[in-house]
Structures are given as C-alpha cells and as structure tokens.
Structure 1
Amino acid sequence: MPSIAFTKGHGTGNDFVIVADPEGELELTAAQVAALCDRRFGIGADGLLRVVRSSAIPAGAEILAEEPDAEWFMDYRNADGSIAEMCGNGTRVFARYLLENGLAEIPAGSTLPIGTRAGVKDIARSTNGFQVDLGRWRLSGDDVLVRARGLEVARPSLGIDVGNPHVVVALSSVAELEALDLTTAPVLDPALPGGANVEFVVPSDPLVTDGIGEIRMRVYERGVGETLSCGTGTAAAALAVRHWAGPSAPAHWRVHVPGGTLAVRAFPTEEGEHVALSGPAELVYAGSIVVA
C-alpha cells in the first residue's frame, strides 16, 4: 500500500493534515481524507489541506484568470472528507507551510495570493502571525432558528457569508455558552441546503475597550463538529455582533475561542467592505502514513 508524506499544523487549535501535491497527482477519496483526519485511527485533524499548484487543478483555472500570481491553491477538505469553500485558520497554516518549505515568500510590505474555492485570498505577515484578507462579506438573509443541546428554546440567528456560510447566535452569558453540548450538531430551522457553520457568541462587558470590541465564541463546523477555533467563524461572529451593536461599533475586534485569541478587522475597499483575520499558525510535526 502507498504511503504519503504529511505535516501536522494548527491555528489556535484548529488543526490540519497538510499534504504536498504540487502537480495534482494525488487523488484522495472522501473516505481516505476522513481516515487521515480520524483522531483514533488516523493522524487526527479538523480538516486536510492539499498543497497543489493552481495550474494543476481544474478549480485553479478561474483563480489564475483572476490573479496570475496565485501559484498555489489550497484544496481544503473537512474532516468527513467533504469539500469546503474556504478555511480562515487553514489559509494561515497553508501560508506558513509554503514559507517554511521554500515554496513561496512574503517580502516586507507585500502579500502572498493563494487560491481557494472562495476566490483568491491575500496573506500578509502580522504581529501575531499572519493576516488573511477574507474578502467582501455580506449578510446572507437567512432567517434561521437554531436549536442546540443546553438551550431551553430555539434562538434566532444572523446569517453571515464570508466565502462560506455561517449562522451566528447571541447568548446571554459565559455560563450559558459553557453549558452548551456541541457533541451533537445544532439543528437549523429551516435547514439550509448546503448547511452552515454555527457560532455561539457572548459579548464582553464592557463590549468595547480602547476602541476594540471583544467577544467569546464556540463553534460547530459543518462536516467536522465542534472545533477549538474557526477562522471564518471568528470573522462572522465579530461581524454579527458589530451589526447588532449599530453604526458606532468599532472595526477592530478581539475574539476568544477555546484554542486562543484571534483578531478581526473590517475595512473599506472600492468593491465594498472586506474583513481580515489575523492570528498564529504553527507546524507541529511531519511524518508519513500508509493510505489504504
């Protein structure tokens, strides 16, 4: 049976199996991805990042038309093997892998474009690791009630799209947040055709300190389960609370997740408001594994 080389990495505890496949020669099935990500019988991870040249994957053709310098494509799979559009923490870990292995560089003052199924994402160095411009965000318009173990009644949510779908639920206290049982998937009513990541958030008191908003969050990722962190979910949660807080709310946010702390920043562009996510990215170890 063949074996493949891999690297294990994480961003605030959101962990990934990273597999280099520059020429797009490795075709992993959904079952194989799920086996690699299995925490008891495989390496264990929230998802898999395949490092492939944009020119070597069909989804990369559109990327190169948008940005010819986006040499590398992040082919992201959830832990159950399903394909996902994007992963905010994953982009930072992906960039760290490229730099550590001499596959790309980020000169001072510049950015590294990488391809994803949600378009080109620009990565820059930041004081806390790496920053990714997640692009233009929008309210999805989804009017969804969320039921979860630990909540006595269904709660309303706000739909946020940051390249992938999210529904954000506000809770009243840290105690209520900690009482949630996310070993079972929250139920969305009505169900969304492609599903969504679900974020449960508690605003800090005070909400804003020195011009920075602050919230605490837990997340259930579709195709994965509860994770210690979710980059795009962090951005969605901050944007939702900012929306609820009104026009005087700040553009900078600090979001505490079980795996650490991430920073979110909203900023204007010619095409509309973008949102950026910054935080650490770590490579933990490397090895090889037999793939059945």
Structure 2
Amino acid sequence: MTTLQFAKGQGTGNDFVLFTDPDGTIELTRDRVRALCDRHTGIGADGVIRAVRSRAIPEGAAVLEEEPEAEWFFDFWHADGTRGDICGNGIRVFAHYLIAEGLVAPERRDTLPIATRLGVRDVLAGASGYTVDMGRWRLGGEKLVSARGLYVPRPGLAIDLGGMHVVTALAHAGELEALDLNHEPTLNTDDTASFEFVVPDDTLVKNGVARISMRVHEEGRGENRSSAAGAAAAALAFRHWGGDDMPHHWSVEVPGGRLAVRMFPTQEGEHVSLSGPAELVYTGEIELPEA
C-alpha cells in the first residue's frame, strides 16, 4: 500500500484533493481517483490535483518547449476518474498549494506560469485571492435547453472555453431557485456541454461592473457549488446579449461565493480572466488502494 500525504483545498465551494509527486512516480488510475473523491468512504472532493514537475511527464515536457518557466504541471482529474484539461477554481487552489508548500516563491504581483493539458495558464497572486488567465474563448451558436423545473425549453448560447458551455438566461431569481439540477439538462442536439442558468441582479451594472447570479450543472459531475469556466461563460454570454454598451468587468455569484470575470484584448485575440479566493482546509494522509 502507498501512503499519500495530501491537502484538501477549496475555491468558492469547489473542493479538491492535492498532493505532491515531483517525479511522477505515483500511478493515478480511474479507481484511485474515484476512491479519493468518494464523500462516504474517501476524503471527498470534486477532483484530484497532482503537483508533478512538467519535465516528468510527456504532456508537461511539451509545454516546457512553449514556456520553460512552467516548472509545475496541473495534473487534474475529475471525481469520476477522468482526466481534466483545465479547471479555473482548481488552478487557483493549485497555485495557492504550490506557494503554501514552498514549491514556488513568487513575489507579490509576479505571474506564475502553470503547465496544463491546454498549454500554459498564468496565475497572479493578489491580496484577496488569485487571478487566472483562462485564455481565448469562442462564441458558439444558439441551442434549446430543457431542464427539470422549466416548463418549456429555453434558448441558450454556446460558449467554448476549451470545453463547451451553454448559458441560459432566466426571468427572475425564483426561476433559478426552482431548477432541479440533480437531473442533467438536455439540448436539442447531440452535443454534450456544461449548463449555466443565469439571472441579472436588480441593478445589472453598478460602478462599471455588471452583476449576475448563476447555478451550474457541469458535464460529467452534476450540479456544483461553483464553476470558474461556467462563471466566465455566463458573463461572456450576457455581454454578448447586451451589446456594445456592456462592461468588460463582471461579478458572478455562485452558491459557493462570488467570482470576478474580466475580458481583455491580447495580440492573439480577446482573453478572459477569472479571480477568486482559494484556501487549504486541512492536511492528512491516506492509504491508496492498489493500482
């Protein structure tokens, strides 16, 4: 049996099991990840994040060619045992873990490049949390969304952030509360996606910041207390619907807290960033089942 030293971390209610494996010697399998994430017989989490040196695994070595300073690889696994490409809440918690464990020592306002399966993601440590550049996004088409608690299908807008998100605006907070997201929403197409349901605050824009509230059903995971990519997708969709007068700064309330979204231009096209808190809740050790 392998004894794993781990930390439990969370960002706006998204929780993760984190551990350090610099040389990539611990084999992660679907069954091991599911056992760790099981909320009844394991630690309990939305996913597992392994801190492994980029040079130790093929995906990380490829990223090092793009950014030699991306020393650590964000090896993220969903609770169902499948590998994940990126997780906006998870990568903020990961950056906090790297700093807390003394694996990196960035100066305040220094950018920390982190290797992921989608390339390098830059994370900035600030006074009240962490900001991650989620990269470019793409606008998809209109779709019809059916969900338990909605009497008729509603139009949704597809947003591609490395994974597909479909955002549906609801009329008022009562509709948002009435949704039963224990049941997976469906589309009028064969596409798979995460689903965001959104309502604006009573005053949509105040002091240059737009404010919305959201619930999310993540693909393969069910309803979650937070989704960073979902918050970004919701803000992008609302800005698209609102037109040129909409701001580029957004505050998105999720059941687990509040996230800040910002859209900004780069040479390769518009990027979207996500800011929010991250903390380590406790540390411990657990025996891993046989691989």
Tell me the TM-score range normalised by the shorter chain. over 0.9
Tell me, what secondary structure is at the counterpart of 2:113?
Answer: strand
The alignment's TM-score, normalised by the length of structure 1, stands at 0.96
Pairs within 5 Å for 1:172-183: 172-183=171-182
> How far apart are the structure 1 equivalents of 2:50 and 2:119?
16
Match of 2:276 in 1: 279
Deviation per CA, 1:126-172: give whole Å up to 9, x if none.
24201011111111x24432211111111221111222221111111
Q: 1:87, CA displacement in angstroms?
A: 0.2
Tell me, what secondary structure is at the counterpart of 2:26?
Answer: coil
> How far apart are the structure 1 equivalents of 2:208 and 2:127?
18
Deviation per CA, 1:176-230: give whole Å up to 9, x if none.
00111111211222122xx322111111122101110000001111221111111
Mean Cα deviation higher: 100-109 or 229-238:
100-109
> How far apart are the structure 1 equivalents of 2:197 and 2:135?
23
Point out where structure 1 has 5 or more consecutive residues left out of the alignment: none
Q: Is 1:155 aligned to residue 154 of structure 2?
A: yes
> How far apart are the structure 2 equivalents of 1:278 and 1:7?
22
The aligned amino acid for 1:208 is: V
Tell me, what secondary structure is at the counterpart of 2:122?
Answer: strand
- Percent sequence identity over matched residues? 58
Q: 1:22, CA displacement in angstroms?
A: 1.1
Tell me, what secondary structure is at the counterpart of 1:34?
Answer: helix
Point out where structure 2 has 5 or more consecutive residues left out of the alignment: none
> How far apart are the structure 1 equivalents of 2:37 and 2:189?
30
Match of 1:122 in 2: 122
Dislocated runs of 4+, deviation >4 Å = none
Mean Cα deviation higher: 89-98 or 156-165:
156-165
Match of 1:235 in 2: 232
CA contact (8 A) 1:162 1:236 kept: yes
Let me know the Cα RMSD of the aligned residues. 1.2
The aligned amino acid for 1:36 is: L
The aligned amino acid for 2:255 is: P
Q: 1:27, CA displacement in angstroms?
A: 1.3
> How far apart are the structure 1 equivalents of 2:108 and 2:10?
24
Counting matched residue pairs gives 289
Match of 2:134 in 1: 134
The alignment's TM-score, normalised by the length of structure 2, stands at 0.96
